[in-house]
Amino acid sequence: MGELLVVLVGNLLTMIDMTELFGARRRRARAAAFARGERVSVPCVLRSEDLTEGRERRGWIAVGEGAATWRTPGGEPVPFDPGELTMQAVDRQAVTFHSAGGRTELRLHPDEASLVLRALAG
């Protein structure tokens, strides 16, 4: 009976998406910090003619107090102002936005898209 329980628990653990579970905790913490007025860095993928030479790059958008900035791993923050963004695609893992001129593409987790859009609009 004990072996059956161990096998059952082992199978259940493989079905849990631990990355999504811990990622959700970090996303909730960022949303709470932003609601308190703190500056938060939101992970994203950006393709921009100006900031990434047209290539997709992983990094963070910092929003909250002050102007929004974009930063890559090991890089310095640079001002980020894409203008008006329009949603292009959405799925469980990402929401994709394009700027009006198509020069910028921004992908965010669906849980954090509204936070970033509110910060960029205000």
Tell me if 89 sits within 8 A of 105, measured CB to CB: no
The domain locations on the chain are 2-121
**Cα-Cα-Cα-Cα dihedral sign, residues 37, 79, 42, 88:** positive
- Which CATH fold topology does 2-121 show? PH-domain like (2.30.29)
- Contacting residues for 115 by C-beta, under 8 A, at least 6 apart: 30, 31, 34, 40, 42, 63
Measured in whole angstroms, the distance separating CA 75 from the mean position of its chain's CA atoms is 18
Give the per-residue pLDDT at 31: 92
Tens of pLDDT, residue by residue over 28-72, are 999 999 999 999 999 999 999 989 999 999 999 999 988 999 999
| Residue of 118 and 14 predicted with greater confidence | 118
Spell out the SS3 assignment of 43-82: EEEEEECCCCCCCEEEEEEEECCCCCEEECCCCCCEECCC
Model confidence at 98, in pLDDT bands (50, 70, 90)?
A: very high
Tell me if 48 sits within 8 A of 104, measured CB to CB: yes
